[in-house]
Each structure stands twice: as C-alpha cells, then as structure tokens.
A and B are shown apart, each in its own frame.
Chain A
C-alpha cells in the first residue's frame, strides 16, 4: 500500500477514532488542532518503526515533520530514500 494511503488509514482509524473533523485534508494541522497529543505521537512513531523498519532519531521528532498528513508523508518518503 502507498505510504499516503497507509498513513491516512492510520490517522483516521487510530488517531481520530474513525471520525473526521470538519475540513480534514492532507494539510489539516495535526498539532494546533490537538489531534496529535504526546501519547498519539509516540504511538505513531512506534507504528512507523514497526511498519516501515525505519528508526527515528531524537532530531526527527520535531513539529515540522508531524504538522500534517502531507508533511508526514514527505518526511517518511525522505526517510525511506
């Protein structure tokens, strides 16, 4: 499955509990909206590590990578080379 599709599914089902907020799209702000609190962020990182066999360094855990689904997709693609 494409990274984008996998990530959409994860965010919608596991982070948002299957309920999309109004105006949700690839640029929806996951941080300012409070969608990604610290616990959900940690689970998302663990999911990435398990699913894509990538390792996150401490410098990867910064807002610009987690700001939106599109930012996450770009970051993951870059990470996977």
Chain B
C-alpha cells in the first residue's frame, strides 16, 4: 500500500484524540485532533462524491488557516494531489498555472472564485459555508510519469531561466524530509507552534511535520507585533516559525509583552536575517533566533539550533541525513552549495524532469544556486545567491519574471530588477530600465499601472531608474548588484 500523509495524521489522531491541534485565533479557540479528523473525513466524502479520487490533482485557492489545512488533508485522503493557487497572484498569473499544470478540480473561497472563473466549469458545488468546488476546463495533460510517484504536492514556481517549473513532491519525499528535519527540531506532542507564514509556500515541511508529530498549531489573527506576542503567550508557544519581518514586528512592540518561558525555538526562514533584527530581538527578549536553510526542492537541510551568539548569521550545521559539498573555484573558500540526502524533490513538472535526471546533471548532488562557506565548526553561512530571488515581507519572486513583463512594454528596451535593502523591515525591489529607441520615457505611475495588469502588487518595483545601459557579469548575466 502506498504511503499517504492523511493516513499518518489519522493514526496520530487515534493516539491523541483529545490533544489540541489548532489553537486560536481567539484565546479560547481550540480544535482537537479527533475533531479535525472528523472534519477532514466529511470534506473528503464530499470531494469523493464530486469525483475526486486517486490520480486527481486539485487546485487550492483559499486563504491560509485551519480550513486550508483541512482541505489539503481531505484531498490527500481521496488519494489526490494538491496544487496551491496563491491568492496574492493576479488573474493572469493564476491562469498561467492552469495553463501549465493539469488540474481536475479546484477548491476556492466562494468570494474569490471570480478570479479563476475563466478556468473552471460553471457547475459549482458548495463544500462549506465559505468554500466551493469546481471542475477545471482542462487545457493541458498531466505528464505520463506523474502518477507513478504518488504525488502529494505540486508547487508552481516561475523558474530562474524563465521556464515554468512545478516542483513535485510525493508523500514519501515529504515524509522523509520532515523526519530528517525532526532529528534536529525534535517536535513532539508537547509543542505548540506559532505559525506565521504563507501556507501556499511553506506547508510541506512544516505544517505536515506538526500534524505528523502531534504538535499544536497556533494561528494568530494578524501579524501585528502585539498580536503575535499575545498569541504566543496565551497559548504558551514552544516554537515560532516566521520570517524576519515577524520578529522585527515583535521587537518593536511597545506594550511590554514578553515571550512565554516555554519557548524553545524561534525559527527564521524565507530570507536572510539581517543582524540588526537579530540583535534587536536579542536585546528585547534575550533570545537568539534560529536561522535555517530552507529550499523547496530539498526541505530543511540546515538548521541553527546552537543558541550561540557567535554563530548568529549562520544557518547552522547540516541536518543528519544530508551531505553538503561546496563547489569552490580554485583557491576560494566559498562556493556553490550542493546537497544530497533525504526527501529531494521527485520531479520538475514542466518540462518534466525526474529526480534521477535532475541529480544526474551533477553527479547525484542537487545544485541549490546559493553560495556558501563553512566555518571551522561546520556551520554553514549563506554569502550569496546565484538565483537572485527577491523576498518582500516574506513574499518571494524571481526578478526574471518582472523583467520579462517590463521588457514587453513598448518603451522599454531592457530591464534589470534587483533587491535593495532600503526599508527598516526588509527589501524593496528596484528596476533599472533602458529606453527603447525613438520612444518617450513613461513616468512611474504609468509603469506601475502597466505592471499591475500582469503582476501581483509585491512584485512591482518600488523604484524605477532609467539608465543608458545595463551592466553584465563576466559570464554574461545581468548584474543584479549594480549599486555595489
């Protein structure tokens, strides 16, 4: 019988039926493991009645929260796979996912169904008071090998080369990566985890682990510093999983609220942690933040649980089960991070590339595209990225996607988009633009209005600067550090 993560959760719910699973958003709001299991079973029955079954792929177009978790597990309980449709994307960006990933149906918030209406059939089934299910007007076929790998999750990403790619994760890969990470995290039924990230991007290694190992998940109402601290305190959080901005917001809170004494780990992910934020957090709460190295293709291969001030800035040692190789140029101590180990992605969806084919390109090692160095104690430091992902308040995107939109504007000959650390609370995107010959220079408002037609708000550059020409690196790539 094939491994199914929903079955793993059901077994855990059998063992600890009354244990709280969801805590919040109110101080008294609680859902136990057995209550949640029954919700999942009911939803799964409705989905099966609607035709969802083994081999189906279901889009999930719904806000993060307890319902989102229930929908994912209900889909898995039907033997189907989940493809998130992040809400922040624009209508054309969502349409692009439908064009590249075969989906049989979609669960959507009833009030936001209009955003994907063009891709679904008119017949709508009411799933809950706020969610509907609709079948999809299929425009592409699933890859022939997809069913062989027992897929659980397909995360659509726009790749660094401009090719669309979906990262495919099987139930087995997710199972392996969370068990590997838990050798370090040691999550158990004694943990209550304050969850602050997007479920569309951070489900497979984190939420699944909490349900697998019997922890409780604290869901706060919003991300204001005082709200996060109150939620952590009310529910006696032992663990926080957030991005730098969340820790920054907690630090600036002026109500005097403290973190609960039970707190044992404060994990930082999504983007590099600036030392000012780490220092301010330490000063305010007396705690070292736990930096990690998370990557969708691999899971969490490195975690810093040293709690040592002198190791601040490091993503820690490699988690057991993962091996690191730095591909350094001769004479250099830093190089591209390549990793092999548990739970490596099963495939890229479009164009299809199996795990073997991906790893074969580099002697069995996965090339991350990040540059790192190791210290004498084996702690890994990320010193640069080949893939210049930009993260704005925890929302990520690749600059190539924005550049291709800008370069389609008739007045723009070439564009280079890059991150600048200009806000107190994180990055902002900036674009260098080269004017097309014979064209008048459009003003910023016109460019913003143009971008808004194709890009979700956080991807639109905060500043545009017209330059005579772009600069390029020795290897001919756009120089995305032009201000250095």
Contacting B at CB under 8 A, from A1-59, are: 17, 19, 31, 34, 36-39, 41-43, 45-47, 49-50, 55-59
Taking a contact as CB atoms under 8 Å apart, the answer to whether B458 and A42 are in contact is: yes
CB distance from A6 to the nearest CB of B (A): 13
- 8 Å CB contacts to A: which residues of B198-237? 198, 221-227
* Interface residue count on the B side (C-beta < 8 Å): 34
Task: Tell me, yes or no, whether B382 is within 8 Å of chain A by CB.
Answer: no
Taking CB atoms, residues of chain A closer than 8 Å to B251 are 58
Asked whether, in the complex, the Cβ of A39 is within 8 Å of the Cβ of B252, the reply is no
Q: Which of B453-467 contact A (CB under 8 A)?
A: 457-458, 460, 462
Q: Are A19 and B392 in contact (CB under 8 A)?
A: no
A74 at the interface (CB under 8 A from B): no
| Contact, CB under 8 Å: A38 / B223 | yes
Encoded as 1 (CB less than 8 Å from any A CB) or 0, chain B from 113 to 137 comes to 0000000000000000000000000
* B393 engages A31 (CB within 8 Å): no
Complex interface bits, B352-375 against A, C-beta within 8 A gives 1, otherwise 0: 000000000000000000000000
Please state if B425 and A17 are interface contacts (CB–CB under 8 Å).
no
A58 touches B112 (CB 8 A): no
Q: How many angstroms between the C-alpha atoms of A34 and B222 in the bound complex? A: 8
Min CB–CB distance B433 → chain A (angstroms): 16
Interface presence of A63 (CB below 8 A): yes
Asked, given contacts A50-B462, A63-B226, whether A39 binds B457 with beta carbons under 8 Å apart, the answer is no
Tell me the complex Cα distance, A42–B224, Å: 11
Task: State the 8 A-B residue pairs at the shortest beta-carbon distance, nearest first.
Answer: A38-B223, A42-B393, A58-B424, A58-B252, A58-B425, A57-B424, A43-B457, A63-B224
Residue contacts A-B, CB under 8 angstroms, 14 given: A17-B112, A19-B111, A36-B222, A37-B221, A37-B222, A41-B223, A43-B457, A46-B458, A49-B428, A55-B422, A56-B424, A61-B224, A61-B249, A63-B224
B interface, CB within 8 angstroms of A:
25, 63, 87-88, 111-112, 196, 198, 221-227, 248-249, 251-253, 392-395, 422-425, 428, 448, 457-458, 460, 462
